[in-house]
Amino acid sequence: MKPIEKPQNSLAMGRRSFLSGAAALGVGAGLSSPAIIARATAAEPSVIALRDQDLPFIATEETYTTEELINLNSINDEHTEYLKGTGLADLGPGRIGAMDEAGINVQILSAHTPGVQNVPGQEGIDFAYRLNKMIADGPMSTYPGRYQAYATLPLQDPEASADELERAVREDGFVGAMTNGFIGEKFLDHPDFDPLLARAEALGVPIYLHPGYPPEAVYDIYYRTTRPGDDQTFQNYIFSGSGYGWHQEALTQCLRLIFTGTFDRFPKLQMILGHMGEGLPFYYERIVGDMSESTEGSLNKPIGQYFSDNFWYTTSAFFQDELLHLLLRYISVDRVMFGTDYPFADMKQGTDWFRAVDLPREAKEKIAFRNAEKLFGIKV
């Protein structure tokens, strides 16, 4: 995803400096004394944030790459330079230091979108294996307890994907797998992927449904825009991805998995949606209200039950109180986990935000680390 811009430090004012200039600023703006004081104290840590300074964190959507992956998936030279400058490939002291500064105990790593899932044949199988072994033998071994990982899978071959998932879980201790949107022109609800879903269910590990970029036909219809004499490649890339399209696509895949009866065939299968539910909280009442009658008799359970039984949700890159509270209106706090989407969002911004969220301590512990401990079988 495109990085979230950090607030400009030059615009931040401490309470003392603000109050020292309050007369000039307040009178000029027509502000009352209480309004001036309210603005001044807003930047200070809240009582809740101070109470929760000791929260441990498991960050559940944190990205890495390699030079080989960058060469495979970058769209042009500028994109290559951008990816190299993000810190994606740093799995050593730099990233660990940023984790320490933010108070993050564990990162769960995943390969940068779309991983190797578009690489066919033995090449894709070998590539996925190399990446997974690099993570297991490198950062997971060098910094024990600080890194966990989702397996990268050669999804052009579902049977080989199932085998690599099992190998990575059993041999290297991986906690699940991540997929990235369309695989060719199919989603995971296609019967071709039943071997992978069956294996994930049998292993008791989740699949993280990260979004990905659409097939060319979808891209052309929905996202390709032009203006005379102007190259819109970068704009369209973001439009189809992190700026909008990703989130619609991920939610669509989630709904397809429900409507096609995937969770009736694999009732214990668990999946994860990032980015505060990929729009689900906003659409929840419309989806459940409009689709319940049309699916009655074709599914084993009411639609809303699948969102509670088969999905988990992360906060990745969406550090907004209102969105979290909306998600919790429909989804149990027992199903929500913390994530930052590093390095495309700032880790410390994420932990600072969550420490200040107005929720009971027990609920915040569940989101910050306890739910991840339960789902992944790990400890902070």
Peptide bond into 228 cis (omega under 30): no
Q: Which fold has domain 47-376?
A: TIM Barrel (3.20.20)
Provide the pLDDT for residue 234.
83
**pLDDT tens string 6-35:** 332 322 223 223 223 333 333 333 333 333
| Under-50 pLDDT residues of the chain | 1-42
Reading the block at residue 270, the tokens are 């668990």
Provide the pLDDT for residue 217.
93
Residue 149 forms beta bridges with which residues?
Answer: 109
Q: Can you give the residue ranges of every domain in the chain?
A: 1-44, 47-376
Q: Which residues contact 308 (CB under 8 A, 6 or more apart)?
A: 331, 332, 335
Determine the 3-state secondary structure of 360 from DSSP.
coil
Provide the pLDDT for residue 43.
55
Under 8 Å between Cβ of 372 and 312: no
Kindly report whether the global pTM for this prediction surpasses the value 0.85.
yes
Provide the pLDDT for residue 165.
98
**pLDDT tens string 172-205:** 999 999 999 999 999 999 999 999 999 999 999 9
Provide the pLDDT for residue 295.
94
At position 313, the amino acid (one-letter code) is Y
Whole-number Å distance between alpha carbons of 197 and 245: 25
